Copies of this chain bind each other. A is one copy, B any other.
Amino acid sequence: MQIKDNEIHNFHIKNILKKLEEKDLDAMLVANFNNIYYLSGYLSTSFAFMIIKENPIIFVSGMDMENAGNTSSIDIVKYESFDKMIEYLKEENIKSLAIESDLTANVYEKFKDFNLTISNAISTERMIKSHDEIEKMIKATDIAHKSLIELDVRSKQEKGAQEWECAYELGYLMRKNGASAESFDTIFASGPVSSLPHSTPRQHVLETPVLVDYGCKFEGYCSDTTRTFIYTERQEEISDIVLEAHDKAIEAVKAGVKACEVDKVARDIITDYGYGDNYIHSTGHSLGLDIHENPSVSIKDQTVLENNMVITIEPGIYLEGEFGIRIEDMVLVDKKGKLIGNLPQIL
């Protein structure tokens, strides 16, 4: 098992080294926990810095040494100070250093003496999922879908349950069914607050409609699903438009199409029905170890979709002060887009 993991890590590291070489970069400084996990199997709980070069190494916080020693396929060394790390890089004759786009300013400035270049080498590598990664995301989705059915939102609504209780019970069910955690804070928004795309669950009984945007992690990999439980004709009317945008956008997903073209399909439908101004976010995003990865399915993202990318399709219409409807599924990019999971869109 460890040997196989090593092989996967080495495969990715080689690809990244090749990308660095093409840009004349000597090495890459990696601080993002999921990037380090992706390339080594070690998930930091405090801080860590990986140096990608011919013989990669990870500087690990003292309190994480036992954990890193047990899990990393890459050599580890105890982090002492930035000065020591900089000394090491100089000894290794590293002059130009790739960095991640989310490196923090304080670390950025510590390494200013190197020629720093933001590189998307790792995020690009992470765009195409392996069979194993896809299996984990399908499993996460199955757990999430099973759990939403078990929760039985309509019965909760009838019983006068509160938003936070439902969100919490859904989290419990996902763990009971094998998830390690939520993939992000569950959105359980009912009544007027459903028009806030990122509403926080309230200590308030469920009104209608009930919008549930949620997911879980299975072995590090995320799922992401939204269902809106509708109760009135007006809600159904809006839901029908969102569902049409959802279905047509999924039909438009295939390898070779640009992400922005998929966004356009959903956006055009909603706009044609007169709700363009009420569609206030992108049509979707990639996901994997992180809930938001590249590419996004947005007006601006020109990335050409490739086989084994995994994206969400999640159009919505938000009527301020009234309600919001969103329907979201995950789609595996292939010759045709393959819907992940089989939870009905209307529940």
Contact = CB atoms under 8 A, between A and B. Distances in A.
Interface stretch (A1-9, A85-93, A168-176, A224-232): A168-176
Interface stretch (A10-18, A102-110, A236-244, A332-340): A102-110
B101 A102 contact: no
A77 interface: no
A63 interface: yes
A271 interface: no
A281 B63 contact: yes
Interface string A176-218: 0000110001000000000111101000000000000000000
Nearest to A321: B66
B100 A105 contact: yes
Q: Classify the secondary structure of A's interface with B.
A: mixed
Nearest to A196: B67
Nearest to A70: B196
A143 to B, nearest CB: 13
A320 to B, nearest CB: 5
Interface string A57-93: 0000011111100000000000000000000000000
A168 B320 CA distance: 34
Given A196-B66, A197-B63, A281-B62, A102 B106 contact: yes
Nearest to A197: B63
A162 to B, nearest CB: 10
Nearest to A195: B66
B185 A181 contact: yes
B103 A105 contact: yes
A128 to B, nearest CB: 22
A104 B102 CA distance: 5
B185 A175 contact: no
A49 interface: no
Q: How large is the interface on A (under 10, 10 to 19, 20 to 34, 35 or more residues)?
A: 35 or more
A164 interface: yes
Contacts of A164: 175
A175 B175 CA distance: 18
Nearest to A102: B104
Contacts of A181: 185
Interface string A303-324: 0000000000000000010000
Contacts of A118: 105-106, 109
A64 B198 contact: yes
A149 interface: no
A347 interface: no
A325 to B, nearest CB: 14
Interface string A38-71: 0000000110000000000000001111110000
Given A66-B196, A102-B106, 19 more contacts: A45-B197, A45-B200, A63-B197, A63-B198, A63-B280, A63-B281, A66-B320, A100-B105, A101-B106, A103-B105, A104-B104, A105-B105, A105-B118, A106-B118, A164-B175, A168-B171, A168-B172, A172-B172, A180-B200
Sort A-B residue pairs by CB-CB distance and give the 8 closest, nearest first.
A45-B198, A101-B106, A103-B105, A102-B104, A63-B197, A63-B280, A63-B281, A62-B280
